[in-house]
Homo-oligomer: A and B are copies of this chain.
Amino acid sequence: MPSLAAFPNDTELAEKRRLLNGIQERRDKAGKLVAGVAAACDVDQFKAPTSEKPNAKRWDSHISPESQSRPPCILKQAASHLSNPDIVSLGGGLPSSECFPFYEWSFKVPTAQHFFKDQDELEDPTVQTVTIGKHDVKAGLSEYDLSIALNYGQASGSPQIMRFITEHTELVYNPPYADWKVAPTVGSTGALEQTIRLLFDRSRGDSVLAEEYSFSTALETFVPQGIKPFGVKMDDEGLMPESMDAMLTSWDEKSRGARKPHVLYTIPSGQNPTGATQSLQRRRAIYSVCQKHDIFIIEDEPYYFIQMPPYQGNESDSVQASEDVESFLAGLVPSYLSLDIDGRVLRMDSFSKVLVPGSRLGWVTASAQIIERFLRHAEVANQGPNGMSQIMLWKLLDQTWGHEGYLKWLIALKNAYTQKRNMLLAACDKFLPKSVVSWTPPTTGMFLWLKCDPLQHPEYPARPIEEIEGEIFDQAIKTGVLCARGTWFRAEPDTPADGMFFRATYASATAEAMGTAIERFGEAIRRSYQIE
């Protein structure tokens, strides 16, 4: 199997090193970051100069009337007067930090290079204790402390963590237009809800394109807002651009019952649920179709950094033990953001899959116009992510690991997932009846898509696929394993299913449990298919 991205050459490696070094140079030049309680954050100050790039296109006709009508939050605006330190504020109802019952936090984390230790090794010298005080800033010990993080903030996030996120985004994706920005989110679930309110309107008859099998929670977010999803055919590389083009070219509003889609929702890497990953060539082709039909792209790619080497057929396949960060970065298949000369992409990133889901902290990247509208909604939808996560991740990522340390963490994480994937695939090789079940080894993410052939089933087509699938699911539960049903993920559930699928994940179970689980799942299939 070919690598999904082109193999990085020396120029690309040097470019990544240049970007990495540029971050520190800019920080040194900018000097100390001064940003107190509810400080405004303009991420432009953290970006490299972009004068040679063009600005993004405007998306006025794509934006919903609801979003167009959002005023700025007047109280947050008033806080801008407070950049003058001589002004005393009797303006906003922000509690005084003397009333915060947390004086000091500390937490134990792995030092960069020594990841995946567990609790019984807490005394290990590779474990580091980091501490955050309430008044570290006043004491000159830090640029961020509990008195700031535990108070109200701005929906645009604290400048401290947003600096790291902006730099990371530039380092990894480096969008080819000038006026890109990032905004923090309460995770990609919330980011999608906000993005839908921004781009879609029920009364316009809006609809959305998605992969024919897509993340069920995303579909559940679109549908109650009156936005009808339409599924585009997929192959092993995910969404097929020719099918998408054909759908859009022949779009008939009446028979479809919806306006021609103006947005594509796609999960390009380790797609949920199919595990498929779009190659660079595939992404370019899809982007062209989007340009042709004026389609805005929502790119949901939480598994981006879990890009694994191809499966060689052995549980014990070795992982690349000593990859340097430049090679790791340059070897990643590019995000749509990196191809986005028009500024037609809103990319959703999240720390959930790569650090901890419980932080409920992620970010979106898009053009300044889109981000400004996104933030206006965030001000009333959630006020941005919580301060506890912001300061803890800042302390870990920015102050303890740094950019290179975080990239090393991502390499280690990818290696851990590669081993997990290999174990699941080895179990499938061993326990599943290949006469009726087939699969493509995933190269990104955490999902394996198991295809069961309905034609081999003794009761098909007398019984519909949904019924047989349900029977296998129930039987699997009885046998002691939970896999997700393929029909849960169908973008157009009202049409008859023409394939039978199950989604299995290697994210959470131990090697031993995965073996047991797949053995049980094999039993459930054999019983339904009446295979000895």
Contacts and interface: CB of A to CB of B under 8 A. Distances in A.
A118 B133 CA distance: 11
Contact of A517 (B90, B216, B517, B520): B90
Given A87-B477, A101-B396, A119-B134, A360 B382 contact: yes
Interface string A89-114: 11111111011111111111110000
A385 B357 contact: no
A293 interface: no
B193 A381 contact: yes
A94 B357 contact: yes
A106 to B, nearest CB: 6
Contacts of A149: 358
Interface in A475-532: 477, 480-484, 488, 503-510, 513-514, 516-518, 520-521
B101 A118 contact: no
Contacts of A457: none
A220 interface: yes
Interface in A441-497: 446-447, 477, 480-484, 488
Nearest to A482: B91
Chain B CB count within 10 A is highest, among A109, A413, A424, for: A109
A97 to B, nearest CB: 9
Interface stretch (A24-32, A62-70, A234-242): A62-70
Contact of A89 (B202, B380, B509): B509
A241 B91 CA distance: 29
Interface residues of A, number: 117
Contacts of A338: none
What is the oligomeric copy number?
A: 2
Contacts of A101: 109-110, 115, 355-356, 396, 409
A432 interface: no
B150 A357 contact: yes
Given A93-B505, A383-B190, A482 B103 contact: no
A189 B381 contact: yes
Given A90-B514, A153-B358, A357-B150, A217 B386 contact: no
Interface string A226-252: 100000000000000000000000000
A88 B481 contact: yes
A501 to B, nearest CB: 13
Contact of A152 (B75, B89, B358, B516): B358
B87 A416 contact: no
A305 to B, nearest CB: 12
A52 interface: no
Interface string A355-395: 11111110000000000000000011111011111101000
B224 A356 contact: no
A504 B102 CA distance: 27
Contact of A507 (B95, B100, B226, B388): B95
Interface string A255-290: 000000000000000001000000000000000000
Given A66-B225, A226-B66, A380 B90 contact: no
A13 interface: no
Nearest to A89: B482
Nearest to A450: B90
A225 B71 CA distance: 12
B66 A382 contact: no
A380 B117 contact: no
Contact of A78 (B96, B98, B484): B484
B482 A90 contact: yes
B220 A380 contact: yes
A2 B229 CA distance: 60
Chain B CB count within 10 A is highest, among A93, A122, A520, for: A93
Interface in A27-84: 66-67, 69-71, 73-75, 78, 81-82
Nearest to A392: B388
Given A66-B224, A95-B507, 20 more contacts: A71-B220, A73-B220, A88-B509, A88-B514, A88-B516, A88-B517, A90-B504, A101-B355, A102-B392, A103-B107, A106-B106, A150-B357, A151-B356, A186-B382, A193-B381, A359-B387, A359-B388, A360-B385, A360-B386, A361-B386
Interface of A: 66-67, 69-71, 73-75, 78, 81-82, 86-96, 98-110, 115-119, 122, 127, 133-135, 149-153, 186-187, 189-190, 192-193, 202-203, 216-217, 220-221, 223-226, 272, 352-353, 355-361, 379-383, 385-390, 392, 396, 409, 413, 416, 424, 446-447, 477, 480-484, 488, 503-510, 513-514, 516-518, 520-521
13 contacts: A87-B480, A88-B481, A88-B482, A90-B424, A90-B509, A93-B447, A98-B118, A100-B356, A101-B409, A102-B108, A149-B358, A150-B357, A361-B386
